Structure 1
Amino acid sequence: MMKSNQQKITALYCRLSQEDELEGESNSIKNQKSMLEKYAADNGFGNCRFYIDDGYSGVSFERPDFKRMIADMEKGEIGTVITKDLSRLGRDYLKTGTYIEIIFPQNDVRYIAVNDGVDSEKGCNEFIGIRNYFNDFFAADTSKKIRAVQRAKAERGERIGSKLPYGYMKSEDNRLVPDPDTAPVVKRIFDMYVNGVGTRTIAMTLERDKIMSPSAYAYYKYGRKENGLKLNNPYLWSDVTLRGMLVNEVYIGTTANYKTTTKSNKLKKQIHNDRKDWLVFENTHEPIVDKSTFEMVQKWFAGRRKPNKSGKTDVFAGLVYCADCKSRMYLRRVLKYPKENNYLCKTYQRYGNNHCTAHRISEQDLHAVILQKLREVTAYVRENPEEFYEIASRNARAEAEREMKTYLREKEAAEQRIAELESIIRCLYEDRVLGRISVERYESLSSGYETEQSELKTKLNEMNAFLDENEKREQLIQDFIENAKKYIDIQELTPEILRAFISRIEVHEKAKWHSTECGNDIVIYFTVERKEQLNIQHKDIKTA
């Protein structure tokens, strides 16, 4: 037997978003509940049930309690839906109109919007469509204003993301500071990774040590629910989470804004922007990880990081390249015979001999010859630090000094012109506001000046990068010497040691393919702009 509308549920629907909070207390959930409760009592509506979405935009209809209400309606349990006004139901005028004019009538549901005088039982109000359109316009206009504010904050180098990065907390002045509970965990993750421990093993280690995952920590400390939250196992870490942390520049004190965007306020799907479109600011907060460790991790990420069964990853990942086609070389493991593991050119693996040759080189031989060469080089550096410094810096110094003077002059001129253009644009804007020039004239002139300013800023960034590289060159030589003193007796190659001394290894094809007698020529590029060519033949490698 079907229930009459009076026997069915009267759904009292309340909704509040951040934008609605700006309108004041009148839109609060508490106020909506009081109003709807009184209206239902005064007008004889019984069997009332509240459906509440607190913190959800009216632009989207993917709201948990709204969906629950619709599910109850489709089961035939709801006879009437009452909201404070039309905007509580939604701010997308097409979808809101569809619910009012099609979906509710199809399900024999009476709809009432108290403040807007809408009651479907009394017939359609011809102004409903107009009101829905203005509700939609309000949402779009508010979104536009919020985006403008966010853009201004982003351009000042302020963080615009609402989610706190794991490892950080907010200070009293709203800045990121390391969280004493989780910052050591972040540092531990980076240290484990640079020492050759894969993400799967790191995840298992953290779980074994009862360290909460980022989503579980956020839930128990701040009461915030995040994607991936598993309360039945709060110590479960995922590879995806760890990989995201290992490439996140926030841990070296850098703020990167506008990594993602959306097409409009109605489409919430995140679109990833190109790196060139990001707004990146260095040294905005205290780092947890030093830059050398972070850069080491990024180099390793450039290669294949698949661990073997013991959880160890390839120590040369991201360092070995084909000398001919310049593509990376990847380790091919032979599970039953580890001594036959070898590196192959990626182009050859993908396209065969038509594009490049194998450039096959034994992992065991490469490991032995690099270990031997590093022992020789570091011993020489320790014994002759001043002579090494002179040799390492001599080649590039004269040319760099000439270029440095030119760049410094150009940098000063660019900075002066950028400041002048800023002043010109400001004066033009004042003239437009005061009516001294027309809007069309302002846009024509300002567009040209802004283009020139943008080009100068791009050029300035390039010059700053060059100057930074020159400063880094000196630092790299000093670091190389310090590392040679630090690693006195290198017994085993690790990713940390390799990346402290070597930036790239290029492998040439053997003079005779598949020959067991003929070795590969390899070129080792050290981090101090020094390179050395060797020939790898197993019989010549000292294993002591």
Structure 2
Amino acid sequence: MRCAVYIRVSTDKEEQKQSLENQKNMFYQIIEDRGWDVYKFYVDVDSGTTDKRENLQRLIEDAEQRKFDVILAKELSRLARNGGLSYRIKEIAEQNRIHIITSDGAINTLEGNAQMFGLYAWMYEQESQRISERIKGVLRTKARKGEFKGSTPPYGYRVTNGKLTIADDDTPNVVRRIFRMYLEGKGFDSIARALTREGYPTPTQVIGKKNAGQFWHGSSVKIILSNPHYVGDLVQGGQTTRSVTSKVRENVPKEKQVTIRDAHQAIILREDFDVVQKYMEGRKQQQAKPKAKKHMFTNYLFCADCGKSLWYVHYRKGYVCGNYYKHGKHTCSQHRVKEKELMQVILTDIRNKAETLNEKVIMGRLEANVLQARKQAEKQILSLQRRIDKLKEEKTGLIRLLARGNITEVDYKEAIDSSNAELTSLQEQLLGLKSLQENDDTTGNLVRLKKELRKFMKLNELTSEMVHRFVDKIIVEADGTVNIYYKFAPTALISA
């Protein structure tokens, strides 16, 4: 486990410097005793009531990126005397699966001991809650004045002096076109495909979001069609946090939301917007049917070119590439395959496999291979275990060298990173070999396979159970050729 150590002293006086060295030595011993790795020492000379401490902020940033597994401190007050900050550190640690341990024994989340958090944080939590309510009150006041308080304006708008204004680019026309296409009878995905095909910027591209998607999605179209901002109404306060110590957001009832009618210039006529809402509700009720059955090859068919799953299309009585079906021919080709034809191909293959399976020849080869593999595995396990033990000893030696100042933190980190990378690889290999040894039942598997194949030979049609038992995956080429990978065969069978 990677351990981050936080040390805070109030002043830089000589006695505090000595305390700093004593704490470091104590933490080195704790880390060595537990067999952990030193990630970094974070040291601040400042008051515990502020969260502006430079190295505390670095600790929090590194925790959010999960650069370590444990935070070690002398006591909780070294990390924070502020209730809100205590909960913040606790929340960040929980979200990133990081444990907090104090050397005074008060806190040890690794062992389930976290009761002291409430004692330290309680007196500050009520004040934090009152501050939060005051801030919410200010935001509600601004909302009632018609000021937009969101972080991102709706597609087609910009924020100017706190107000929504229509953007001076082509995005407002895109919004109008989306509403027009929907009223013409096109669905969410159909509209999305048209916008993608014609190269209109997506909402994430407009706001400059990192890794913004180039494809429009039906969900984005639906959000635009449902947004009352487009008729000039400013609706805010739709969500709120449960409490000052929680980031979980929940919806606010409509009657408690702040709505200002005609707060800004509209892009869509109100009557058109109302018609769209009724139309959407009607379609929603129309589509509220029992869940469609899962088709025979759902989750088994994959496109050879883009790797996406193939989707069943009713009017085609078969499957097509999901990427093609959703975004159009400029993203991929159809890769079409008929369900009935594929069922017949697989049924014929399975029957042939059952008829040609030579049990004596295969069993002889398997037994010889298994015996040789077992001996080789035992040698590998012994060699791996010796190397793992050696690396663990070397890591303990590195901590001692670091504590004595014989190596720098940079040298230590480089050596530890190298050792940990090798340890991870070796332990994965060891686990895999042991698992193979424990679960090896080649003979039994062959007997069961032959029995199952013969059982299904009596059936006249392919069943879902047969597909589940024998088929691993099916790759479909652009011309409809399928490469069938069976669970009992090392290579694919290519069929038309």
TM-score range (shorter-chain normalised) is 0.3 to 0.5
Give the number of the structure with larger relative contact order, counting CA–CA contacts within 8 Å between residues 6 or more apart.
2
TM-score (norm 1): 0.37
TM-score (norm 2): 0.41
